[in-house]
Chain A
């Protein structure tokens, strides 16, 4: 048990050692050689699982993390996880081998390998974790490490932009996925994916089923660059080529595929899931292959082809989910083949796309160019690279004798089957599936031909390349050669892979199908049928289109940039920034008067609104004391002096009126029998008056002429509203007395505190703590005033010195 965790965390642990290796040993040995040990060790370790998993066993281990919240890192090894684990470590080993020769020793290799190891560990965590929240954690870690890797050459602007875009889109999807996971956890009352699968009946009847599905799919589609979220992938091509080869063709973009495959037992069988997954997949397939045609740079071409192939896998998974709908039986078995084809093509795509990216890296490395308009005729100069590119390109196009042919045939078989399925409204538009798939395959064929023959065929132009071109070193060629060999080997022996890796993976995608009910054999020759005819059609029509490409390709490339999704995204982002900036600058005026208006308006709306909403306005005048004539007179005096303050034409008048106000208030305290309050009020009033007079002396000369407060309607309305609110609230609060007041307790102040003055007893005895803090408030205010004055006078002296 510990060993599995050790191997999953090995990349993270090793990442700590990498800087030391780089610092002390990089001069003698390229750091990559040490790093290569890590995926190799994990690969060898994972290979040991194959016999057991092939015989139907699964492994489950639990590592406690936050037990009180039920969060634990449950590692679960089944066919699907193992398939991905082997891909991650296998391609990882080859990519690091390639990077040893691709990345020069002068680069910041420690950064590179730390990010790469971080990514590898995160990806292993994603595929092996059974706990949804841990899954999400690793998922985000792949986004972060991908961000770091894309911006590896951070001094380039395009790298930073590409990294930012991929981060924005994948993290957006990741958040959506988290929401979906939380809904799933609420529905199934468990964190474990397997227990969710076991409870799928309760989940499928739950009201949150569709929202959770949409959120989870959002995560999967953004990560796997499905339409319309695929725009980050071509810009992620600014990363070093080993990164593009590893992350953006073989592993990270397949995390979304993995998620869809994992969730198929839960969500599959629902029409929404089928239409979203297969529909979006097919659209992505067509969109990716069309857009790839328009590229002249090799890496974006491969990026769009990756998008297109991911769409193919996605649509196969969607079709495979029909098997969940039909259940075990004859019609279910037909669609099981589609899911099988998805897994098969997933594996195949990793092999040939990995090698193709490495080929592009070699071309870039040896010629200094990646643009097909400058390249050509490299066949004679780089024969080995050409052979690998040919194998990969033809496999991607779906030609025999390469593995892409097999999975393309199975794909055609699946889309032909789905058009005859007769459920989910497939009768009417189901016929579109084979047509779109076929058209997209033709375009795929054409761009594969462009990729191979525009780069390697045609005349050789040494003058266009800025260095002397020669074949790449063997070390650089080793990894793509191995992948190319795998491409050919899988064509000739597909069932070895099928039996040991794909069938167990299929039984974890579709657990309800008993393995004995389907006998999946991949055969290169399966008779003369529609699939083969479709492939022949693809070759003929694609070949024709390639031959006459000069007639239509320039027109296709002229497709306006302003209509592309990328442009839409950039405009949207800029628009959002502009909108928020203008919105912010509209209400954040910097004027305190405006902010006070917001505060008071909010105050009135909230309090008055809630008073009205909950019918809180109740006046009760029954217990009120009788108002004397002189009380009324004093109130009138107060009103007059308050109005005088408002309407005063100069400041002295306002101060004097304020003084009258203070005197009358102290008179009120007397009438309401509060001698201590009246005393304090008088002192404070006088001191404030003196302070005001002090301030007036320091007012700037210019403003002294300002006569009266200028009149504004909004201010009047708001001030009246605030006054009304407070009055209504005070009057209603008086009528809503719920409990007896506790004054009777304080009336015993002589027995309890030895004081005849209740107010003072409360201040220093019963509630002495408040008094202490108020004293400290006064102290702070005093110190503050002192400091302010001292600072001002100091600065004044500095000014004089200047």
Chain B
């Protein structure tokens, strides 16, 4: 029963990722796509969490935290690139 629930949760998350993908493929502006990518990251975090519960392990907890940080960094980099055209600005 519990496992079935977990699998259903995972499937729903995959469906969510697919919805995000639709936005990435279709999304009229780049900002939409970057937003969708961020959202995919969050969905992945959720997926990993559910999967850890499913497997009864805490080996993936580091990963959850890391994705949290990295997806933020990635999104920030994209945002900066879209806004200014540069990721890392030089101090002149």
A689 to B41, CA, bound (A): 14
Residues of A within 8 A of B51 (CB): 670-671
Tell whether, in the assembled complex, residue B73 and residue A666 are in contact, meaning their CB atoms are under 8 Å apart: no
Annotate A15-34 by CB proximity to B: 1 below 8 A, 0 otherwise: 00000000000000000000
Query: What are the residues of chain B within 8 A of A655 when measuring CB–CB?
Result: 78
Q: Are B34 and A656 in contact (CB under 8 A)?
A: yes
Among A371-379, A576-584, A630-638, the stretch that binds chain B is: A630-638
Residue contact B70 to A675, C-beta cutoff 8 Å: no
- The A contact surface, by secondary structure, is helix
Determine if B1 is an interface residue (Cβ-Cβ < 8 Å).
no
Contact of A634 among B14, B48, B55, B59 (CB under 8 A): B14
CA distance A678 to B41 in the complex (A): 13
Q: Which residue of B lies closest to A644 (CB)?
A: B25
Interface positions of A (Cβ within 8 A of B): 628-630, 633-634, 636-637, 640-641, 644, 650, 652-653, 655-657, 659-660, 663-664, 666-667, 670-671, 673, 675, 678-679, 682-683, 685-686, 689-690, 693-694, 696-697
- Assess the B87–A697 pair: CB atoms within 8 A: yes
CB distance from B48 to the nearest CB of A (A): 5
Contacts A633-B14, A697-B86 aside, 6 further interface pairs with beta carbons under 8 A come to A633-B17, A640-B25, A693-B77, A693-B78, A694-B87, A697-B81
| In the A-B complex, the 6 residue pairs with the closest CB atoms | A633-B14, A630-B10, A686-B70, A675-B59, A656-B33, A693-B81
A residues less than 8 Å from B20 (CB atoms): 660
State which of B24, B62, B74 has its C-beta within 8 Å of the C-beta of A675: B62
A641 to B25 Cα, complex, angstroms: 8
B37/A656 in contact, CB under 8 A = yes
- Provide the residues of chain B in CB contact with A689, threshold 8 Å: 74, 77-78
B32-83 interface with A by 8 A CB criterion: 33-34, 36-37, 40-41, 44, 47-48, 51, 55, 59-60, 62-63, 66-67, 70-71, 73-74, 77-78, 81-82
Contacts of A636 in B (CB 8 A): 18
A675 touching B11 by the CB < 8 A rule? Answer: no
Residue in B closest to A690 when the chains form the complex, CB atoms? B77
B86 pairs with A666, CB closer than 8 A: no
Query: Closest Cβ of chain A: how far from B11's Cβ, in Å?
Result: 5
9 contacts between A and B (CB under 8 A): A628-B10, A637-B21, A650-B30, A652-B82, A660-B20, A664-B44, A670-B63, A673-B55, A689-B78
- When the two chains form the complex, which single residue of B40, B48, B77, B78 contacts A670, counting CB atoms closer than 8 Å? B48
Bound together, the chains give a CA A630 to CA B67 distance in angstroms of 20
| Contact for B67 among A629, A657, A682, CB less than 8 A | A682
Contact of B5 with A by CB under 8 A: no
Q: A659-B74, A660-B24 are in contact. Are A675 and B63 (CB under 8 A)?
A: yes
Number of A-B contacts (CB under 8 A): 120
A690: contacting residue among B14, B74, B82, CB under 8 A: B74
Q: Which residues of A contact B44 (CB under 8 A)?
A: 663-664, 666-667
Contacts of A664 in B (CB 8 A): 17, 40, 44
- B residues within 8 A CB of A641? 21, 24
| B14 partner residues in chain A, CB cutoff 8 A | 629-630, 633-634, 637
Give the shortest distance, in Å, between A424 (CB) and chain B (any CB).
Answer: 84
Binary A-proximity of B15-28 (CB < 8 A = 1, otherwise 0): 10110110011000
Known A657-B24, A663-B40, A667-B44; judge A630-B81 contact (CB<8 A): no
Determine the distance from Cα of A653 to Cα of B36 in the docked complex, in whole angstroms: 11
Residues of A within 8 A of B62 (CB): 675, 679
B-side contacts of A675, CB under 8 Å: 59-60, 62-63
Contacts of A673 in B (CB 8 A): 55, 59
Please, which residues of chain B bring their CB within 8 A of the CB of A644?
21, 24-25
Cα of A630 to Cα of B20 in the assembled complex, Å: 16
Complex Cα distance A161/B17, Å? Answer: 75
In Å, the complex CA distance between A768 and B77 comes to: 35
The chain B residue sitting closest to A633, CB to CB, is B14
Give chain A nearest CB distance to B45 CB in angstroms: 10
The distance in angstroms between the C-alpha atoms of A628 and B11, with both chains bound, is 9
**Is B24 within 8 A of A653, CB to CB?**
yes
Contact assessment for B11 and A656 in the assembled complex, using a CB-CB cutoff below 8 Å: no
A679 x B66 contact (CB < 8 A): yes
CA distance A640 to B70 in the complex (A): 23
- A670 in contact with B60 (CB, 8 Å): yes
Contacts of B60 in A (CB 8 A): 670, 675, 678
CB-CB < 8 A to B36: which residues of A?
Answer: 656
Q: Are B70 and A633 interface neighbours, CB within 8 A?
A: no
Q: Measured between C-beta atoms, what is the minimum distance from A289 to chain B in Å?
A: 86
A663 surroundings in chain B (CB, below 8 A): 37, 40-41, 44, 67, 71
Complex CA gap A30/B18 in Å reads 97
Q: Which single residue of chain B is at the shortest CB-CB distance from A695?
A: B87
Q: Among A641, A660, A673, which residue has the most Cβ atoms of chain B within 10 A?
A: A660
Candidates B17, B66, B67, B81; contact of A637 at CB < 8 Å: B17
Contacts of B86 in A (CB 8 A): 697
A650: chain B residues within 8 A (beta carbon): 30
Bound CA span A650–B27, Å: 12
Closest chain A residue, CB of each to CB of B30? A652
- Bound-state Cα–Cα, A420 to B18, Å: 98
Inter-chain CA distance A636–B17, complex, in Å, is 10
With A679-B62, A690-B74 as contacts: A640 and B21 at CB distance below 8 Å: yes
On chain B, the residues within 8 Å of A640 by CB distance are 18, 21, 25
Given the known A-B contacts A640-B21, A664-B17, are A678 and B63 also in contact in the complex, defined by CB atoms under 8 Å?
yes
Quick one: which of A629, A660, A690 contacts B40, CB cutoff 8 A? A660
Chain B residues in 8 Å Cβ range of A630: 7, 10-11, 13-14, 47
CB-nearest residue of chain A to B84: A697
Closest A residue to B70 by CB, please name it.
A686
- B70 & A659 in contact (Cβ 8 Å cutoff): no
> In chain A, what residue has the closest Cβ to B88?
A694
Q: How far is the CA of A664 from the CA of B15 in the complex (A)?
A: 13
In-complex Cβ contact of B63 among A657, A671, A682, A697 (8 A): A682
